[in-house]
Amino acid sequence: MSSGISPSLNNLFVPSYDSNVIHTPVTFLMCPPKLYDVNYVINPWMTGNVHAASRVHAAEQWQRLYEAVVQIADVVLVEPQPGSPDMVFTANAGLERNGTVVLSRFF
C-alpha cells in the first residue's frame, strides 16, 4: 500500500522534537525602509544604482517579510536614522545561534 508520499520525501530527515528541552525564542532585528536609498557606492552591487531604488517597492517587500517573520519569531524594530539610508540591512550583520555568531561577508 502506498503512503501517498513521494519516494524522495520518504527519505527526508526530520529531527525529533524533545518537549523537555527549553527552546529560546528567535529574535530578529529589523529596520523599516522609511529612509532607504542608494546614496553612494560601497560595494559592486551598488554600482549604477545610485538613487535608482524604489522606496515604495522596498516598503512593500519589507512589509511582507516583516509579516512573515513576526509569525515565527520575535522582531525588534529600530527606527532608521537620517544619513544612514542602508540601515534597512541590519539583518545582514550576522546571525547568532547557541552562542556562536556567523558574520556576513560581501566579497
Cα within 13 Å of Cα(39), Cβ side = 9
Q: What pLDDT, on a 0 to 100 scale, did the predictor assign at position 91? A: 53
Q: Can you give the pTM of this predicted structure?
A: 0.60
* Sequential pLDDT tens for the chain (107 residues): 444 444 444 555 555 555 666 666 788 888 898 888 888 888 888 889 888 888 889 899 999 999 999 998 899 998 988 988 777 776 556 777 788 888 777 65
Name the nearest CA neighbour of 45 among 91, 89, 100, 93. Answer: 89
Q: What pLDDT, on a 0 to 100 scale, did the predictor assign at position 61? A: 93
**Pairwise CA distance, residues 98 & 42, whole Å:** 32
